[in-house]
Amino acid sequence: MPDSTPAVQHTGATPLLQTVGLTKRYGTLLANDAVSIDIWPQQIHALLGENGAGKSTLVKTIYGLIQPSEGEMRWQGEQMVLSGPSDARARGIGMVFQHFSLFDNLTVAENVALGLDGKESFKDMSARLEEVSRVYGLPLNPKREVWQLSVGERQRIEIVRALMQNPKFLILDEPTAVLTPQEADQLFIVLDRLKAEGCAILYISHKLAEVKRLCDTATILRDGKKVSTCNPKAETAASLARMMVGGEIRRVKAAADRQTNVARLVVNDLTLAPDDLHGVRLQHISFELRGGEILGIAGVAGNGQDELFAALSGERLAQDPGAVVIDGRAAGHLSITQRRKLGAAFVPEERLGHAAAPRMRLSENALLTGHAASGMVQHGFVNTAAMLKTVDRTTEAFDVRKASRDPEAASLSGGNLQKFIVGREILRSPAVLVVSQPTWGVDAGAGAVIRQALLDLAASGAAVLVTSQDLDELTEITDRIAVMFHGHLSEPMATVDASREKLGLLMGGSTLEQKEAAHAAGA
Amino acid sequence: MQLVLEKRAERSSAIALISPLIAIGLTLATMSILFAMLGKNPISALGVYFIAPFVDSYSLQEIAVKATPLVMIAIGLSLCYLANAWNIGAEGQFLIGAVAGSWLAVKTQGTDAGPWVFPAMLLLGAVGGALYGLIPAICKVRFGASEILTSLMLVYVADLLLDYLVRGPWRDPKGFNFPTTAEFDPVATVPVLIEGGRLHLGGVIALVVVAAGAVLLARTIKGFEIRVVGAAPRAARFGGFNSNQLILLAFAISGALAGMAGIIEVAGPVGHLQPGISPGYGFTAIIVAFLGRLNPIGILFAGLFLALTFIGGEQAQITMKIPLDVTKVFQGILLFFVLACDSLILYRFKLVFASPKVSRGAH
Amino acid sequence: MGLIEAIILAVLAASTPLLLAATGELVTERAGVLNLGVEGMMIVGAACGFGGAWLSGSVIIGALCGIGAGVLMSLIFALMTLGLAVNQVATGLALTILGIGLSGLIGSRFVGEKISLAPHLHIPGLTDIPLVGRILFGEDAFVYLSLALVIGVWFFLYRTRTGLILRAAGDNHTSAHALGYPVLRIRMFAVMFGGACAGLAGAYLPLAYTPFFIPGMTAGRGWIALALVVFASWLPGRLVIGAYLFGAVTILQLHAQGWGVGVPSQLMSALPYLATIIVLVLISRARTGGSTAPAALGTVFVPDR
């Protein structure tokens, strides 16, 4: 067993953490297949890979949440077996989760207390919370309940909570997915400072530019196996992506000269109160979307995107019928079924439970949105043959991989289910398509298929509205981009003029004051 | 040692089919132990419960008669449960249906009203049950009050209302002060299928209800809507289905079927309105619905099986002095095993023996 | 003893089983588990409590038997819903059906027997103070115990770390699991506490309320206790108000029947049930738009490993 005296550790002769042949098996699925990585102090180590490559499984193992099937971990050279996260925290391993591990109805201070081992009094802990949040420039009000906070503030709780454990090793899972570019820059300052203080960081991200800028080392996983460990600064974004995917990624191509024609989706001064306490009020939203055009809506999650989707789809009705106009017909008062009959189609963000009923078959999920305008229902009776035919057509057109002809929705991988859901709508040749986060949590191959399909749909004359938190995706496929902040929508700008900085400022709400002033003046 | 559940990628249809049978098997095993603890011979006790009723025609007919209300109520309940609306007050809807139908029987007593009386009673029973079932449904969709608690509270209220009527305004003047109405006129009773037998028209109605339920759920868009609302409420909203309307519909149908079962019971096997007309059909039907896996055909068989336990329980009390409460214990245990076995459809059960080693490393 | 005094004493006695059962259920629900089997646990607690007291001649042993029976019943529930991930609503119903059958079976040999009720406190001087003396210092031990329990539960939930962890498990089990808390174990203890309280509440009926056991003697009190938790918005303090209000309704309808008010007795008997429905509607309506229920209440949790 290697020597693990502090002196050796500080010279950096022993990695802080090693995984040796770490394997995790779920039934026949190998989530991690003999993964060996070394992480050194003062290192920001990127963990790259597609969805389903095994990144989450690996970090959950390191954090003690799941037990490896084979292989072992070494901490400062000594074998480490973790009975649970508190064991990991006791050694100085901290974690910032992608889907925050917070409690909405508890206060910030209570949330932080729950992430610590409880050896100090609540009062001492609160004092330390204030101290840490001041020192690192991460302001928090300990008395607020979490549900009242923005996504960025919630992440701050997670980070402060991890910092209060004085971590030697910090894991961050997609921390910038929910931040504006400017907020991400602030996070990088904190991370650089931690590194300088001697902390090791394992950093999971999809954003390769960010990885190249921040990280010293990168390990790439594919299908549960380690593909390579490299220096990301010496690689290009394209070469990193090739290693993640294991081949070339199809570039999406826009049609050479897309014609825009009549306005097919018009929103006029749409204002809508939220239907639950935690919701966002939509404020005077107006835009016009022509056939052949793709409009992108950027913004940090939780700024009214879900509410806008509900108002456009008809899941929630507007008071004024003219607030939403589909193909020239006032539709604000119409139900989602009636809007579908007008030629609109919708793809919500959440695949399982919203776009599809998880434990129902694909044919039944075809009926879910197809019952309004297709031959699937006659005189109140369903036509199973027509439902199956839709499944077959979608499968063929969008290359949906599945184990049987008509499986349950939940049994498909994220990418294949998303292809089915988008395909189900596109094959109805809609005049207007409203889609939220079309490639969220989807592998690169499926993502390219879906983005191409959206471009092709627009080329055929449909109007497409895409809401996404992924600025790269919006830049790639849209013609214009608008930004949502606190229920307001900015004036759309041409995508070619939309720099990251400009969008980032709008996402942070920096022009809100001017806008409100304008409204006040107009009233 | 630790029990670990592993989610199946897809629900297992083989287990869905055999899980009720496994549950029955486990229940019989548990009951044998209970019989032994009561000092009875388990083999002969189970024989009295489950074999004896099959040997004579009277008991066979009696099984069908007891299964009739169970099946009708359970079909309605299955619609509610599929829609994730927890109607547990079918007993109350059953009683109110009986009361509503009996009103006409009492009013036409001794008059020369024609054969329209029974069909009208059937209709009144269904309407009464449906309206009573709509109370908790409206409280839920309009005010957000838990339908579980309100529907159950209404059982006690219905019980007291029936009690009041047969002790007060509707009491048979020639009934020696017993709390009961007079025997219904022949036009106000359920026609018997075989002269002198126990089988009556209600059995046929129950079969029609089973068929209608099967078609509704498997072949119509309404049935699909009910299933989606229960399985994935947000997806249902996205599909354009109005969950509030569907919950009202499910409760109304469920109440109507329970109410109809109530008036059939009163106008058939009982023959007059009195307290205690139900040995807990409304609650036993909950077990029937789950044992039948919320599937109409399954419910038909489950209803017959639970009817058997009622008959068997009575015979066991007479011949072996086994308390009637054993039947209720049996039903409760059966429901537990049914639910536990249903979990096998979604999960694999695994026993893990090795507990993770905890290292006492430095920190 | 004046009429008012008698009524207040009766109200306290009628409220105590509701308060006991509701306090236990509140803790269970705060951990995220909806156990609808309170009625079943209570009725078995009543049968076993009476049996224990009758066989041993001791009220305390009777109460312990009631508690033990409630815990055993709740363990069945825990095994089903936590161990096997079965739907909590359906399991709660099953527990009630089983409980009614079991209590009949257990209680059948005690029907018709009689025991002496739990003694009431008597402090010379204090208990003899006119009007308030008997009310404050002349109750049976369970009345004081139930109030102490509410205070204890309040302290536990809001002033201890374990209570914070329990509330966290009821708010978001995924987060609690991710931080390394044993969600299922926490919930199991919460369910067992609920079972103990329900068993004791059931035992109260034959030990301190009426000195005999009758099948079905809980008469829906378990269900009313469930409604009380909703009424109290899951806050222990409000449970006391709710329980005493319901106790008052029960006693007033009994007295009204005695006074010969010109209303059918059945309508008066239906009052507690009707009041429950009305209260549920009013409370739920006042809260439209936001619920104060624990966010994870009634949901199944299966940890991945």
What is the interface pTM, i.e. ipTM, of the complex?
A: 0.90
A356 with B231: Cβ contact below 8 A: no
CA nearest C224: which of C29, C49, C25, C71?
Answer: C25
Interface list for A 333-372 with B (CB within 8 A)? 335-337, 340, 346, 348, 350, 353-360, 364, 367-369, 371-372
Tell me which residue of B112, B105, B75 sits closest to B261, measured CA to CA: B75
Count of CB atoms situated within 10 Å of the CB of A262: 11
B126: closest CA of chain A, how far (Å): 24
Whether pLDDT at A207 is above 80: yes
Q: What pLDDT does A26 receive? A: 84
Q: At residue B362, does pLDDT exceed 50? A: no
Q: Do C105 and B326 touch (CB under 8 A)?
A: yes
CB A96 within 8 A of CB A162: yes
Residue C104: partners with Cβ closer than 8 Å, 6 or more residues away? B323, B324, B325, B328, C47, C215
Write the DSSP symbol of residue A408: B
Rounded mean pLDDT, A290-316: 94
Q: Which residues contact B108 (CB under 8 A, 6 or more apart)?
A: B117, B185, B187, B188
Least confident of B310-324, C73-87, C89-103: B310-324
Distance between CA A474 and CA A477 in Å, rounded? 6
Q: List, for residues B76-98, the tens digit of each pLDDT value.
A: 999 999 999 999 999 999 999 99
Amino acid in position B353: F
What pLDDT does B234 receive? 95
- What's residue A10's pLDDT? 41
What distance in Å separates the CA atoms of residue C68 and residue C197, rounded to the nearest whole number?
10
> Which segment of A188-197, A275-284, A399-408, B74-83 scores lowest on mean pLDDT?
A275-284
**Token pair for residue B176?**
């020696």
CA distance linking residue A200 with residue B111, whole number of Å: 94
Of B270 and A52, the one with more pLDDT: B270
Quick one: pLDDT at residue C291? 58
**Whole-number Å distance between alpha carbons of C149 and C143:** 10
- Flag whether C170 is in a domain: yes
Among the listed residues A72, A69, A94, A70, the one whose alpha carbon sits nearest the alpha carbon of residue A81: A72
What's the structural domain count of chain C? Answer: 1
Residue C37 lies in a domain: yes
| pLDDT on residue A190 | 92
CA angle B26, B31, B37 (to 5 degrees): 135
Q: Measured on CA atoms in the order B268, B270, B273, B276, is the torsion positive or negative?
A: negative
Determine whether the interchain pair A81/B221 forms a contact, defined as Cβ–Cβ distance below 8 Å: no
Interface of C with A in 155-194 (CB under 8 A): 161, 164-165, 167-168, 171-172, 174-181
Q: Looking at CA atoms only, how far is residue B187 from chain C in angstroms?
A: 31
Least confident of B137-151, B329-343, C1-15, C32-46: C1-15
Contacts with B, A 366-405, CB within 8 Å: 367-369, 371-372, 377, 380-382, 403
What local confidence, expressed as pLDDT, does residue A523 receive?
A: 40
pLDDT value for A11 = 45
Question: What does the alpha-carbon distance between residue A44 and residue A215 come to, in Å, rounded to a whole number?
Answer: 5
CB C19 within 8 A of CB C153: no
- Is C304 within the bounds of a domain? no
Question: Which of B224, B225, B237, B238 best tests the A interface by mutation, with the highest count of A CBs <10 A?
Answer: B238
Record the tokens describing residue C93, joined without a space.
């119903």
What confidence tens digit (pLDDT) does each residue in C165-203 have?
999 999 999 999 999 999 999 999 999 999 999 999 999
User: A347: closest CA among A407, A401, A419, A263?
Assistant: A419
**What single-letter DSSP state applies at residue C218?**
T
Q: How far is B180 from chain C (nearest CA, A)?
A: 16
Residue A482 sits at φ, ψ, to 5 deg, of: -125, 160
Nearest CA in chain C to A90: C180
Among positive and negative, which fits the CA dihedral A44, A50, A51, A52?
negative
Tell me the domain boundaries of chain B. Answer: 65-156+185-350
CB A154 within 8 A of CB A183: no
**Residues 6+ positions from B196 with CB-CB distance below 8 Å:** none
pLDDT tens digits, residue range C210-241?
889 998 899 999 999 999 999 999 999 999 99
pLDDT category at C254 given cuts 50, 70, 90 is confident
Which is higher by pLDDT, B278 or A251?
B278
Compute φ and ψ for A139, nearest 5 degrees. -65, 140
User: Minimal Cα–Cα distance from C160 to chain A, Å?
Assistant: 10
Percentage of chain A with pLDDT > 90? 67
The predicted structure's pLDDT at residue A522: 47
Q: What is the pLDDT of residue C5?
A: 84
Which is more confidently placed, B10 or C209?
C209
- Residue A145 is given by DSSP the state B
Q: Are A302 and A487 in contact (CB under 8 A)?
A: no
Cα C154 from Cα B180, distance rounded (Å): 51
Nearest in space to B303 (alpha carbons), one of B55, B77, B30, B101: B77
Query: Mean of the pLDDT values across residues A84-92?
Result: 92
Question: With contact defined as beta carbons under 8 Å apart, do B75 and B351 qualify?
Answer: no
Looking up tokens 């002790």, which residue turns up? B167
User: At A60, is the pLDDT very low, low, confident or very high (cuts 50, 70, 90)?
Assistant: very high
* pLDDT number for residue A302: 87
What's the pLDDT score for residue A2? 39
Among residues of chain C, what percentage have pLDDT more than 90? 70
- CATH topology for B65-156+185-350 is ABC transporter involved in vitamin B12 uptake, BtuC (1.10.3470)
A441 confidence band (pLDDT: 50, 70, 90): confident
Residue A243 confidence (pLDDT) above 60: yes
**Residue C78: inside a domain:** yes
Q: Which residue of A has its CA nearest to C305?
A: A66
Q: Kindly tell me if the per-residue pLDDT of A517 is higher than 60.
A: no
Per-residue model confidence (pLDDT) at position B252: 98
* pLDDT on residue B6: 82
- pLDDT above 80: residue A234: yes
Q: Please state the pTM of the whole predicted model.
A: 0.91
Closest to A84 (Cβ–Cβ): which among C180, C294, C304? C180
- Which 3-state string (H, E, C) describes chain B? CEEEEEECCCCCHHHHHHHHHHHHHHHHHHHHHHHHHCCCCHHHHHHHHHCHHHCCHHHHHHHHHHHHHHHHHHHHHHHHHHCCCCCCCHHHHHHHHHHHHHHHHHHCCCCCCCCCHHHHHHHHHHHHHHHHHHHHHHHHHHHCCCHHHHHHHHHHHHHHHHHHHHHCCCCCCCCCCCCCCCCCCHHHCCCECCCCCCCEHHHHHHHHHHHHHHHHHHHEHHHHHHHHHHHCHHHHHHHCCCHHHHHHHHHHHHHHHHHHHHHHHHHHHHCCCCCCCCCCHHHHHHHHHHHCCCCHHHHHHHHHHHHHHHHHHHHHHHHHCCCCHHHHHHHHHHHHHHHHHHHHHHEEEEEECCCCCCCCCCC
Distance from CA of B162 to the nearest CA of C (A): 9
Structure tokens at A332: 């604000």
Q: Tokens standing for C54?
A: 């009758």
Rounded Cα–Cα distance for residues A361 and A116 (Å): 44
Instruction: Label residue C256 by pLDDT band (50, 70, 90).
Output: confident
Please check whether residue C134 is in contact with residue C9, taking contact to mean a CB–CB distance below 8 angstroms: yes
Quote the mean pLDDT of chain A: 89
Q: How many residues does chain B have?
A: 363
> Given this model, what pLDDT does residue C258 score?
72
Residue C302 lies in a domain: no
Domain containing C206 equals 3-286
pLDDT tens column, A448-501: 999 999 999 999 999 999 999 889 899 999 999 999 999 999 999 999 999 888
pLDDT band of residue C92 (cuts 50, 70, 90) is very high
pLDDT for C95-116, tens place per residue? 999 999 999 999 988 888 888 8
Instruction: Residue A438: name the closest of A477, A406, A410, A485 by CA.
Output: A477
Q: How far is B2 from chain A (nearest CA, A)?
A: 14
Name every residue in A having a CB less than 8 A away from some CB of C.
64-67, 84-89, 97, 99-106, 110, 113-115, 118, 275-277
Structural domains in chain A?
A: 6-92+167-245 (3.40.50.300), 263-351+431-522 (3.40.50.300)
- Cα-only R_g, chain A: 25
Q: Does B4 touch chain A (CB under 8 A)?
A: no
C-alpha span between B156 and A195 (Å, rounded) = 68
What CATH number does the domain containing C208 carry? 1.10.3470.10
Report the residue count for chain A.
523
